[in-house]
């Protein structure tokens, strides 16, 4: 089943919707929320999915963000889309695919990508055309072989697809490695051509500045606010979005930048994590 079609779709209550269906992995984060808002200006039916991983401490915050932002989208006067109820799927229910695991391991030797792309790929096998919101920034630093966008652009090629007012990118099977196709071939990439800084301007232009502030990214929040020192927080700061980090988080980040190379600080971080959880 493709992500977009002109056939009637059924929601969980069995009601027909005649609009094209868009399936999207929505984490409550900056990039996937931007795509939700971008799509909201079109007459489409959106089916969001959330993959639940019990070991991820930020899940509660992500789901809260999704609930609040979904309400913002629904009440916005320019919204044309229909958002179906979120489908939550447990990662533990996925069946391991040995071919995907082996392909992932070979790709990781070339450029580092997180282990979540194994189960994302396994889930996408039964949800062909699922939108995965990877932004452009991952590959802007040529000395940084980190991230899924870098992996995709250095192991394959993308081609643009336009369907009415909707466009996205897919892997070109003829110009991409077999391992890349195995791991990422089932996805659509709707925002891989746009940076986070550009998204900030688009959030404002589309009238969703407050929704932007509700998006979640931190893995180890402190007193319900971003910690400033986990990897997602560091990436937010590196990408020029430090305004999303509270003052206390920025102080933690500055301390880590100043003392992080010293052995005593590494020892102290381990103690801090055991005691404070970040």
Give the Cα separation of 233 and 219 in Å (integer): 8
Are the C-beta atoms of residues 235 and 50 closer than 8 Å to each other? Answer: no
pLDDT tens per residue across span 233-250: 998 998 889 999 999 999
Query: At 49, which helix (H) or strand (E)?
Result: strand 45-52
- Reduced to 3 states, what is the DSSP secondary structure of residue 82? strand
Are the C-beta atoms of residues 169 and 180 closer than 8 Å to each other? Answer: no
Phi-psi region of 200 (alpha: psi -120 to 50; beta: other; left: phi over 0): alpha
Task: Provide Rg for the chain, Cα atoms.
Answer: 19
Strand-pairing partners, residue 49, are 25, 87
Q: Where are the domains of the chain?
A: 9-197, 217-276
- Reduced to 3 states, what is the DSSP secondary structure of residue 162? strand
pTM of the model: 0.88
| pLDDT at site 270 | 87
pLDDT tens per residue across span 172-221: 999 999 999 999 999 999 999 999 999 999 999 999 999 999 999 999 99
Over 60: is that where the pLDDT of 33 sits?
yes
Are the C-beta atoms of residues 107 and 179 closer than 8 Å to each other? Answer: yes
Give the Cα separation of 168 and 131 in Å (integer): 9
What percent of the chain stands above pLDDT 90?
76
């Amino acid at each position: 089943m493709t992500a977009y079609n002109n056939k009637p779709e059924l929601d969980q209550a069995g009601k027909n919707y005649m609009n094209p269906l868009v399936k999207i992995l929505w984490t409550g984060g900056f990039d996937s929320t931007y795509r939700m808002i971008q799509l909201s200006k079109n007459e489409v039916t959106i089916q969001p999915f959330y993959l639940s991983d019990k070991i991820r401490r930020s899940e509660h915050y992500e789901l809260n963000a999704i609930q609040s932002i979904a309400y913002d989208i629904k009440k916005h006067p320019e919204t044309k889309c229909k958002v179906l109820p979120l489908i939550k799927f447990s990662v533990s229910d996925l069946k391991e695919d040995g071919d995907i695991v082996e392909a992932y391991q070979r790709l990781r030797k070339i450029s580092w990508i997180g282990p979540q792309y194994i189960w994302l790929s396994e889930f996408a096998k039964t949800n062909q055309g699922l939108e995965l919101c990877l932004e452009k920034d991952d590959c802007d630093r040529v000395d940084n072989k980190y991230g899924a966008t870098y992996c995709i652009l250095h192991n394959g090629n993308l081609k643009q697809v336009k369907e009415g007012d909707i466009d996205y990118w897919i892997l070109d099977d003829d110009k991409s490695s077999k391992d890349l196709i195995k791991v990422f071939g089932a996805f659509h990439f709707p925002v891989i051509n746009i940076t986070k800084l550009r998204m900030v301007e688009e959030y404002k232009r589309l009238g969703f500045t407050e929704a932007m502030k509700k998006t979640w990214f931190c893995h180890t929040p402190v007193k319900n606010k971003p910690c400033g020192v986990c990897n997602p927080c560091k990436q937010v700061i590196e990408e020029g979005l430090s305004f999303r980090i509270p003052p206390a988080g920025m102080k933690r980040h500055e301390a880590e930048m100043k003392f992080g190379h010293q052995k005593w600080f590494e020892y102290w971080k381990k103690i801090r994590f055991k005691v404070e959880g970040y």
